[in-house]
Amino acid sequence: MKHDLAILAEAILPWLATVLQPLVLVELFASTCGLIGSLLLAMKGRIAPWGWVFFALSNIGWITFSYGYSHWFFLVQQIGFSITSAIGIWKWLIEPRLRPRPLRYLAKVEKTYGTDVSTTHHHMEHIKCK
């Protein structure tokens, strides 16, 4: 029995030494966040925009990882992806909340029925004035 445990410990210790290195945990974090982000975007629906937040977290992890291992081209790529993540967060999470409520509703109508929001909004203003 002791012999079996010694063999098991001998097999596990090098793996544990690798896994417990700080950048390996960063790599695990970045990979997991990237997968969650792509899953959320693929699901569509109300929580899909949060995929951009997970992509941004993934980008932070990959930037840390690439800097730690001096992977400079990967670092540049992740900086570019961080910009697209920031645009996604702005377009899908922040900007919609900055619109007044009626315009949010009109944007949903436009998306659903393919109507022109500006024309519809103008028409509603005309009706309101009467």
Closest CA to 62 of 31, 21, 40, 89: 31
pLDDT of residue 118: 58
Q: Report residue 48's pLDDT band, with 50, 70 and 90 as the boundaries.
A: very high
Check: CB of residue 88 under 8 Å from CB of residue 77: no
- As a whole number, the mean pLDDT across the chain is 85
What does pTM read for this prediction? 0.68
Domain extents in the chain:
23-98
Give the helix/strand (H/E) hosting 64: helix 50-68
